């Protein structure tokens, strides 16, 4: 069985790569990174395991944070909440999880499972349910393959916990979102309990390794005298959509989400042009001069113009000079069934999804 024991540098690289794939949302991985590193310093280990060698009858559970990312910054977790949610779910099933997984390859939810794994001495599988970040619970590849989100558990920082069982994954999202609001805007959840066989079929595999690769490439770019943006485009196989200065940001926390838009005026080769990015926790759609340039499920990532360091939606502000990247999503998200769950129409945009590699052709 292939096992990698993550080092402190691996975690640093993974957190940076996760922010790139987080498309502006998923929460800042910094807090989870610190908790995972602290667990290592206390003598813990984080074992990252090859997803293809998992036993078919293994018990696999995703651990995550839920809520508006801006609230997660204000309500710093102690590190015990996510572990408490998993323990609660294990009691319900009468069985310990054999493996912990990430529900998404982006933001806080890429690092919280690592901290929980170190805390409870459970291995982590190298694959998640998105290959990026999305704002709702049913927006995972597990859902596409018929895995139920529930029974799931929810916990808060006060010690409250809930076991939730719903008729389908859309109801899981609705009810869990309402509970998250009552919890004060953030909940810590254990969700999508499944067999190893179903996990191997449904997961976006090797996404944690990809996060490490992206973060390492960015961290090494300066040392190697390379242009960070070129390095990032190369390692993600992405497209340079825009460069400009943020001139307006509208952001509001409603219904457990951070919603809004950022307006960017073009600089350099993009001077005289304007890009509008609309987000719901994550960046959903990029509109250049009135025409859609990129949309979910492809990834839209905003980075610092010079360092190519990713910028989350809660940290967008007037005056920042940024570059905007478009990155192709995992092929699992391009089926008709998947687009019904994560395509632009689901989010209220009356447009047809066009793969990023096709959409960019008209702009040269």
SS (H, E, C) 12-30: HHHHHHHHHHCCCCCCCCH
**Is the peptide bond prior to 243 cis by the omega test (within 30 degrees of 0)?**
no
Quick one: 61 and 193 in the same domain? yes
Residue 188 domain-assigned (yes or no): yes
pLDDT confidence of residue 153: 98
pLDDT-based confidence at residue 1 (cuts at 50, 70, 90): very low
Number of domains in the chain: 2
Question: Looking at the structure, do residues 113 and 167 belong to the same domain, yes or no?
Answer: yes
**Class of residue 350 by CB neighbours under 10 A (exposed 0-12, middle 13-18, buried 19+):** exposed
Give whole-number Cα distances, 88 to 93, 116, 118, 160, in Å. Answer: 9, 13, 17, 11
Cα 304 to the chain's mean position, in Å? 19
Q: Is residue 251 part of a domain?
A: yes
**Residues 135 and 237 occupy one common structural domain:** no
Domain that holds residue 97: 3-207
Q: Are residues 105 and 50 in the same domain?
A: yes
Q: Is residue 239 part of a domain?
A: yes
CATH number at residue 29: 3.40.1610.10
Q: In this structure, are 320 and 229 located in the same domain?
A: yes
pLDDT tens, 170-225? 999 999 999 999 998 889 999 999 999 999 999 999 999 999 999 999 999 988 99
- Domain membership of residue 127 (yes or no) is yes
pLDDT tens-digit map of 147-171: 999 999 999 989 999 999 999 999 9
Q: What distance in Å separates the CA atoms of residue 186 and residue 71, rounded to the nearest whole number?
A: 7
Q: pLDDT value at position 196?
A: 98
Predicted structure pTM score: 0.93
Q: What is the mean pLDDT of the chain?
A: 92
Residues 28 and 130 occupy one common structural domain: yes
């Amino acid at each position: 069985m292939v096992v990698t024991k993550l080092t402190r540098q691996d975690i640093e690289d993974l957190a940076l790569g996760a922010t790139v794939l987080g498309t502006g949302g998923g929460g800042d991985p910094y807090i989870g990174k610190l908790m995972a590193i602290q667990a290592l310093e206390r003598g813990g280990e984080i074992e990252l395991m090859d997803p293809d060698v998992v036993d078919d009858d293994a018990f696999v559970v995703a651990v995550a944070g839920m809520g508006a990312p801006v609230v997660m910054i204000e309500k710093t977790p102690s590190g015990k909440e996510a572990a408490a949610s998993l323990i609660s779910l294990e009691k319900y099933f009468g069985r310990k999880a054999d493996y912990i997984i990430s529900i998404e390859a982006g933001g806080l939810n890429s690092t919280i499972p690592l901290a929980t794994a170190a805390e409870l001495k459970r291995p982590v599988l190298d694959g998640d349910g998105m290959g990026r970040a999305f704002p709702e619970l049913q927006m995972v590849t597990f859902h596409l393959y018929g895995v139920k989100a529930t029974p799931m558990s929810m916990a808060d920082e006060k010690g409250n916990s809930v076991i939730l069982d719903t008729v389908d994954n859309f109801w899981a999202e609705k009810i869990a979102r309402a509970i998250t609001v009552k919890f004060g805007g953030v909940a810590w959840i254990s969700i999508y309990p499944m067999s190893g066989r179903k996990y191997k079929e449904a997961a976006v595999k090797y996404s944690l390794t990809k996060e490490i690769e992206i973060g390492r490439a960015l961290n090494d770019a300066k040392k190697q005298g390379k242009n960070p943006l070129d390095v990032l485009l190369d390692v993600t196989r992405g497209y340079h959509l825009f460069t400009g200065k943020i001139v307006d940001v509208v952001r509001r926390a409603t219904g457990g989400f951070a919603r809004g838009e950022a307006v960017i005026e073009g600089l350099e080769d993009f001077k005289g042009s304007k890009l509008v990015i609309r987000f719901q926790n994550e960046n959903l759609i990029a509109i250049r001069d009135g025409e859609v340039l990129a949309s979910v499920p492809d990834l839209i990532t905003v980075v610092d113009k010079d360092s190519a360091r990713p910028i989350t939606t809660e940290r967008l502000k007037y005056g920042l000079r940024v570059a905007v990247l478009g990155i192709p999503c995992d092929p699992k998200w391009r089926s008709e069934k998947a687009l019904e769950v994560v395509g632009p129409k689901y989010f209220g945009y009356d447009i047809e999804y066009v793969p990023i590699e096709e959409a960019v052709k008209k702009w040269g």
